[in-house]
Chain A
Amino acid sequence: MEVIMMLTYDQPGVMQRVMAEFTRKKINVDTIVVGPCEMSEKSRIVISVRDRETALGVIEHLRALQEVIEADIVDHRRHEAYAIMLSRDGVCRVTGTVEEVESLIKKSQPEKYIEVVNAI
């Protein structure tokens, strides 16, 4: 899996324009997360695709879009994981790098972990 992260302007039509690049390149997108971000009038779009070649084939096209301020392929070490576990204090959330979260799950009682989302 490769994750592409974009910072874009937050206005109608941006998703259509971004997705059109994937359509043109025949890329089937695995996941999309999009929403307004910490900067006003800007959004972040996070998209995962199958492999590195696919990501490399589209990244420069994304960068060429006027409404895309930045587009990068996320460094693997930065893939964040998110898990929900049962602990003594009830349900708790754990976030961190994939390795960190996985080792935490192993250290606690694995049967008590509820769900892990390995996306961003």
Chain B
Amino acid sequence: MKGARAVVELLEKQNVEVLFGIPGGVLLPLYDSLVDSDMRHILPRHEQCGAHMADGYARVSKRPGVCIATSGPGATNLVTGVATAFMDSSPLVALTGQVATGVLGNDAFQEADSFSLMMPITKHNFRVTDPKTLPEAMKRAFLIATTGRYGPVHVDLPIDILQAEIADTDMNKEVRVPKPRRNLAGLLDSIKLLEQAERPTILVGGGVSWSRAGPEITRLAELLTAPIVTTLMAKGSVPENHPLVLGVCGMHGRQVANYALNNCDVLLAIGTRFSDRVTGRLSEFGAQTKVVHVDIDSSEIGKNVKGRVGLIGDAWTVVNALIAGLQQRKKRATWKSRILELNKECSCDFNLESNPIKPQKVIHELSKLLPDDAIVTTEVGQNQMWASHFFKCYGKRMFITSGGLGTMGFGFPAALGAKIARPESVVADIAGDGSLQMVSQEFATAMENDIPVMICLLNNGWLGMVKQWQKLFYDSRYNATNLGGSPDFVKLAEAYGAQAIRVDKHSEVTDAIRSGIKSDVPILLDFTIDPEEDVLPMTPPGKSASDWIKGRCQWKGGGE
């Protein structure tokens, strides 16, 4: 069997349903073999978007998404998408073509050192230079992507390897990768800390989304009477309509969530890397707090927050072990009532009825109207933070966003991948006008492949988030943030054959969203929003919670 055929067969054996790829010279053998395969192939209009689609698919299906790019520019275009997946621990298998091994290293046409380029942004990567190792590399790629902490794996495939003969014995070789070590030596200490806590709080991170430990964590929170706060990446992993779930914390988080984080005496942190967007200034973060840190990745324990009890294992297993070990149950009535009361205070009404439309109003209506199994993706910027702050995620709803890398242009292609993974759900990308222009060519992909997603464009005419920082921290000296020359987005969508509605008045918001939900073709809702609206409240970068900027926020609960 030839290498190209072997790759197709190895993908099929992994039960891959869909590939997102753009061919090129060195990939011709592979694309020829794909003609005879039943796997669905989606042709994005840019490799970066192919990777984001595979990523969106992976985040919904919890299985590796597969993307393909040719050598040289194909591989370099793929880099942003792979790095995005890496930062959010999303399992991808990224395949790139490569020039023949005989000329590798000689600056051949369309040669780039993809192996080196991908190395720091993948969990692992392979450059296959010997046909004997092709099957093993492919099999290990899938295993590594989904063993322990998930992540992208890249396989570089020179054209002569795709043309070489692959022996059956090599195809049939079994492959294993080491399981991550578990270390629960600190379990008893952790349980004691949690039992003795007066004001315990649970911080959950993206690891919990991947290990689907939400229900167990909610149970543990009830046993401990501990509020749950989430990072941006964990939004949706625990139900935001549960009384103990306070929502997203951090720079643009809900104040009650930050309150719990800053005023707890014992923090149980699960599957989070303590990003600077969560902690603010690290030296001040939880100076008096005892931290129990649970992570599947031993290199995270003590990386950002030092000297704490670490439990190494996957969230689901460790949380079940904690539940099993808990003996005493304190009522913690004061802490509970304080939290519940503050949470009420933090639930302002953002049904803002004014023109120009306030972005919060759009998210408020989306939160009310989208079905309980809807998937929301976001772009990056103010749109993302409004979505994170005001959209309520519960039931089978999912929230998919580029949290780690913050990649503009992620949301639209990720929505397409998500819709392929869960076609029965409404999928909405909450978008910004700057971000959408980075990937708007993917309307063609959506149309060609009948992927009816809804884009809710919060059109403020600016690179809004950067403008906000120029306003707040650089004395309103706006530079390179106004998006002059933007297209008429309604016409742009229509040019591809998609549906589009412009929404200028707050009174039209609900009807537009209802049409979006019902639409069975890709649809763009172009909400003209107030360009002066900022994302507030906000804890400025490098500052601690007490330095927050308030805006419309009614929060009084800090009590400082």
Contacts and interface: CB of A to CB of B under 8 A. Distances in A.
B15 interface: no
B119 A17 contact: yes
A90 interface: no
Interface in B56-77: none
10 contacts: A12-B127, A13-B115, A13-B119, A20-B119, A60-B298, A60-B299, A61-B299, A63-B298, A66-B140, A66-B144
B124 interface: yes
A79 B155 CA distance: 39
Interface residues of A, number: 13
B549 to A, nearest CB: 32
A64 interface: yes
Nearest to A17: B119
A16 interface: yes
Given A60-B298, A60-B299, A61-B299, A66 B119 contact: no
A41 B127 CA distance: 17
A74 to B, nearest CB: 19
Interface string A55-99: 001001101111000000000000000000000000000000000
Interface residues of B, number: 15
A66 B124 contact: yes
Interface in A1-20: 12-13, 16-17, 20
Minimum-distance CB pairs A-B, first 6: A60-B299, A66-B124, A60-B298, A61-B299, A64-B299, A20-B120
Interface in B286-315: 297-299, 301, 303
Interface in A28-64: 57, 60-61, 63-64
B299 A63 contact: yes
Given A13-B115, A13-B119, A64 B297 contact: yes
B299 A66 contact: no
Interface string B118-142: 0110011001000000000000100
A60 B354 CA distance: 53
Contacts of A65: 124
Contacts of A61: 299
A105 to B, nearest CB: 40
A24 interface: yes
Contacts of A64: 297-299
Contacts of B303: 57
